[in-house]
Structure 1
Amino acid sequence: MDRLSPLETAQKLIDTHYSNCQGALLAGSVVRGEATPSSDLDVVIFDDSILASYRRSFIFQGWPVEIFVHNLSSYQQYFQSDCDRGTPSMPRMVAEGVVIQDKGVLQAIKAEAKGLLEKGPTPWSQETINMKRYFITDLLDDLIGRPDRFEQIFIVNTLADRLQEFLLWTNGRWVGSSKWSYRALKHYDKGFANTFMNAFDQYYKTNDDSKIIDLADTILEPHGGRLFDGFQLGKTEKKRER
């Protein structure tokens, strides 16, 4: 069946079910020009009559829709928790979202979201950097130890996540998850993103992990390289004698 456009569908959704809300935005891949045949509509709704935020998925007018409903204060907790994780999904949706309905609240909320995105993640302490170096080193040691092929696959998958997180966060950039991992790398440096992905592509195609190991060393090198000897997590203290 023929469907209305994303914006028309979102407008009809708000008019039909959420007309009393203070603000609504259409976000996601359809507004970035990155939609695929399986893309859904991400709609962010601000309704001060609700007590707590919620998320709901359903089909509307032939479109899969995800709604993210907040009151005029609850969204701030989601902004903060997303930023604490380094993956600002909600701020990004609000900042890039196309206005469907606004009763005078969206300008300030969108400005808040854009400010958080521009600020970037809170820098890691040296202790956190060392901890991340240690766990990446541990993964590299497991990989170099040549375990079972199926075990290797899980090690490599984890390395991909840990390395993109380390690279981006230590350079003051937001981290990605799932498909956003590659997007975040491209946003940081398209050439290095290709180098990063080619290393893992080579492994999956040929079982050759040499480029992954070289990549990891390149990413760790500005921060002291691999770390094992002397690493400590937590303090060693003796009990006081009574």
Structure 2
Amino acid sequence: MHPQPHPHTGMSGLRLGSNEAAADVRAARRLVSARYPEAIGAMLGGSAARGQSTPSSDLDITVLLPDHGMRRREVLRYDDFLAEVFLNSRSDLRTAFAESRTTRRATAHFLFADSLVLHDSNGHVEALRQEAKALLAAGPDPLTGPERDAQRALLTDLLDDLTDTGPNSDPHEQLAVADRVLREAAHLLTAHHRTWNGAGKWLPRRLRAADPVLGKGLLDGHLALAGHADPTPLATSAIRVLNLTGGPLREGHVDR
């Protein structure tokens, strides 16, 4: 994280120019060389790798360790940059790839696929990048029948809670339910399209990418509820997701 606003961006969060992107890469290389001399490879990911750093951005660095290295995460400051460093061996990373597929978020895959190689003495980083890209392109596994039914039943139950709310409801309760409806509807919709899900700022991005029309409907419905305490647009879009995936599910569902 740059300690002071850049003179031509202030605190607006605008994309920094190529000079700043190059400075991020140089700083990341210096950090890896100074702090992790045992590294057999390293990559810079996140906004810095995309040339989209802002004054509040940190450096997301993945360091590839020898096979006996200890997996860990470190947050540190170096040359006035804040860095988040993930240290892994190749086997650690393949475990992370498998875990990302289970969560259907593919966080590790995206980090690798969108990264810049800082150091790769034996070609291991590039091999892992290509592996991550292939897994991303393949998409997540389809939901099994029981997984889909469990997701339908959960979203149906949440929708019942949401439609019971209105302008006179506790706004905190209503918004909490709406947040969960959006999250579970996004999970079901992205799984239906066999695209990757996301969390935080990546939820709307992945949702729009999976289904530009229905994804936008869910997001706009959530915004309408937050602004006007009206659950109808979000509920309508969530019902459309249910109908796309087999319909609401109440009676007869067995949760295993």
Aligned counterparts, 1:157-236, within 5 A: 157-234=179-256
Structure 1 match to 2:37: 19
Aligned pair partner of 1:44 in 58, 62, 65: 62
Structure 2 match to 1:237: none
Conserved? CA contact 2:68–2:89, under 8 Å: yes
- Cα distance change, pair 124–49 in 1 and its aligned pair in 2 (3 A): closer
Alignment TM-score, normalising by the size of structure 1 = 0.91
Aligned counterparts, 1:8-87, within 5 A: 8-48=26-66, 50-87=68-105
Conserved? CA contact 2:74–2:85, under 8 Å: yes
CA distance in 2, matches of 1:190, 1:227: 25
Conserved? CA contact 1:23–1:106, under 8 Å: yes
User: Structure 2 regions of 5+ residues with no counterpart?
Assistant: 7-19
Structure 1 match to 2:16: none
CA distance in 2, matches of 1:173, 1:143: 26
Q: Which amino acid aligns with 1:221?
A: N
In the TM superposition, structure 1's runs of 4+ consecutive aligned residues that sit over 4 Å from their partners are: 1-4
Conserved? CA contact 2:186–2:197, under 8 Å: yes
Conserved? CA contact 1:53–1:75, under 8 Å: no
CA distance in 2, matches of 1:220, 1:33: 38
Please identify, of 138-147 and 91-100, the stretch whose mean Cα deviation from structure 2 is larger.
138-147
Aligned to 1:5, the other structure's residue is in SS state helix
Aligned pair partner of 2:140 in 112, 121, 132: 121
Q: Which amino acid aligns with 2:137?
A: E
Structure 2 match to 1:134: 153
* RMSD over equivalenced CA pairs, Å: 1.7
CA distance in 2, matches of 1:127, 1:20: 46
Aligned pair partner of 1:6 in 21, 24, 42: 24
Structure 1 match to 2:127: 108
- Cα distance change, pair 36–197 in 1 and its aligned pair in 2 (3 A): farther
Conserved? CA contact 1:50–1:70, under 8 Å: no
CA distance in 2, matches of 1:16, 1:211: 54
Aligned residue pairs: how many?
A: 234
CA distance in 1, matches of 2:67, 2:161: 53
